[in-house]
Amino acid sequence: MRSNLTPPRVAHALTLAGIIGAAWFYLVQHNEFGIALAVTTLVGSGVVQYGSGKPFVVPLLLILLILLVGVQLVDGKLVAALIGAGLGTGLPYLAYRRSKHESSASPPGNP
């Protein structure tokens, strides 16, 4: 059974969650921690792209993510930035590893 949890879909969902979270925490319920978390999740989800075959890193977004984490270090919200960067880059990579493991498993019917 093929999983619908592909890395591009996970990255896309995290991008949308980052946009919605940033808008929510900025406009509706102002919270600096939430804004930092949402923005770093948004940028982190775009750092690694999963096209054909192997994943590749987008250098511009990686530099932007490093700068965001550095700014949050100075601003005092390093934990939010690290959680957001970890979620944004880690969850799509976890889905990539899972799909890679599923594709290398033995076909159905063979023990």
Burial class (CB in 10 A: 0-12, 13-18, 19+), 81: buried
pLDDT tens digits, one per residue of 41-86: 999 999 998 877 788 899 999 999 999 999 999 988 899 999 999 9
The two structure tokens encoding residue 51: 């096209």
Q: How far is residue 8's CA from residue 30's CA, in Å, rounded to a whole number?
A: 30
Give this prediction's pTM. 0.83
Rg of the chain over Cα atoms, rounded to whole angstroms, equals 16
Other C-beta atoms closer than 10 Å to the C-beta of 70 total 12
Residue 59 pLDDT: 93
Q: How far is residue 72's CA from residue 55's CA, in Å, rounded to a whole number?
A: 27
